[in-house]
Amino acid sequence: MKKTKVIFVFSMILYSAVCYSQKTKDDSIAFLSLGNVGLDKLNDVEEKKKFLETVYLEKQKIQDYVLKRIIDNAYELYRQGDYEGAKTIAQKVLSIDPSFEEARIIANVSGSSRKSKRISIDEQLSETLSLYQKGEILEAYKRMGVIVKLSPSNEKAKYWYKKIEGDLKNYYLLKADESYKSGDKKKALSFYYKALEYSPKDEEILSNITKLENEIRDETVGAKLKEALDLYASGKLEDSYDVMKKALSINPNDEKMQKLFKELRGEIETKYIEDGNSYYKKKNYNEAIKLYTKAMQYSENPAKIEKYINNVKMTMKKEEELKKKREEERIRKEEERKKKEEEAKKKKESEGQRQGESGASKADKEKEIITQQNRQAAQKHYLEGIKYLQAGDYQKAKDEFTIAKKLDPENADVDAALKRIDQILKGGQ
């Protein structure tokens, strides 16, 4: 019953692992699926690359976890005497991950009889001790751990497992020293931390870790500073600012970096203020506000920049009010002019009626003069209407054309304009 339960659990885990492995084989499919978790919102190519690497690592962790669960079942079957079952599981795991060392060892030591099992264990033990003698400490430790799990009663394997574990600190210290000499300080640091796991209170290891972390930090900050200065020299002030900001986040106490950062920040702020002032003088107020807002991002005194922006907005408001008053004045004068023309017309008509036929010739002459004046006035209104038409103010354009029509009913241009404006207004409705 217990064996059946183990096989059932194994089958379910193995099914999940195989499905997972199949999904991770095609990187392009994995890439396309990332759109749902925000990849499309990343702008920088390096950001996308790091994001994909992170996703890959997480998937790898999941796969390792699942495969270890499966291997645990192989160990259990092996200890129960089901060597063929253990071998089958190990081979399945190797088909998913050929580099899985535990599965390879289990597959090698599992056979059809206890006799073949004991010989295989001895062979593996001998091979592992040979690796240990050659200095392959970590590999020997991993293999010996598998042998101990497979054969918990094997005293020789347990002895060597403990002994090799005691040598791991020196192994990692040696690897750290080799990595440091080859210039790979980050790798050396990881080896020091590994060594610390086996000797947590070792003062020398702790000292080396502190020293190495400071070196790596200083080198990183130095590289960032050089990159920032190169960008500054090429005129890319904001890019230089961003790089220097990252450098400061690594070492906030660097006084030299703080001073340079403050100076650069002030220079960028000044540049945006000057550009904003230039656009303000050109009366391009919206662009000026954009530049002042940019300056605010780099200012240590945002209230100062806020005053610039408020000043621009106040100027815009005053000019809008002045424009409105001028328009109102223009309309008032135009209405007065129309009123005077109407009064003059009525006066002339009244005088003409009184003079009768005897003053017909004089009236005709005056009428001719008035007609000429009307034509000139009509032409002015017609031109005003054209301006409104071009500006898109169709109602005012129609008003001007209507006045022109009254002043000069025979003007064909006015008739055409009225026809056009009516078409536009009807179309708008």
H or E stretch including 200? none
Answer yes or no: is pLDDT of 118 > 90: no
Of 133, 167, 201, which one is at a domain's C-terminal end? 167
Whole-prediction pTM: 0.45
Answer yes or no: is pLDDT of 257 > 60: yes
Q: How far is CA 27 from CA 24, 45, 53, 229, in A?
A: 7, 17, 11, 38
- What is the C-alpha to C-alpha distance for residues 298 and 103, in angstroms, rounded to an integer? 58
144 is a domain residue: yes
pLDDT tens by residue, 10-29? 454 445 444 444 443 344 34
193 is a domain residue: no
Contact (CB, 8 A) for 52 and 34: yes
379 is a domain residue: yes
236 is a domain residue: no
Number of domains, the chain: 2
One DSSP character per residue, 96-120 reads H-TT-HHHHHHHHH--SSHHHHHHH
261 is a domain residue: no
305 is a domain residue: no
108 is a domain residue: yes
pLDDT in the model for residue 410: 85
Residue the block writes with tokens 């107020």 = 285
Answer yes or no: is pLDDT of 146 > 50: yes
State which residues form the domain around 420.
364-429
Answer yes or no: is pLDDT of 419 > 50: yes
Answer yes or no: is pLDDT of 57 > 80: no
Cα-flanking dihedrals φ and ψ of residue 372, to 5°? Answer: -65, -40
Query: pLDDT band at 275, cuts 50/70/90?
Result: very high
pLDDT in the model for residue 42: 53
Ranking 34-48, 269-283, 346-360 by mean pLDDT, the lowest is: 34-48
pLDDT tens by residue, 197-249? 888 888 999 999 999 998 888 888 888 888 888 998 998 989 999 988 888 88
Ranking 51-60, 97-106, 249-258, 368-377 by mean pLDDT, the lowest is: 51-60
Half-sphere exposure of 144 (CA within 13 A, CB side): 23
Q: What is the arithmetic mean of pLDDT over 30-51?
A: 52
Q: 295 exposed, middle or buried (CB, 10 Å; 0-12, 13-18, 19+)?
A: buried
Of 167, 196, 211, which one is at a domain's C-terminal end? 167
Of 148, 167, 186, which one is at a domain's C-terminal end? 167
- What is the C-alpha to C-alpha distance for residues 369 and 363, in angstroms, rounded to an integer? 10
382 is a domain residue: yes
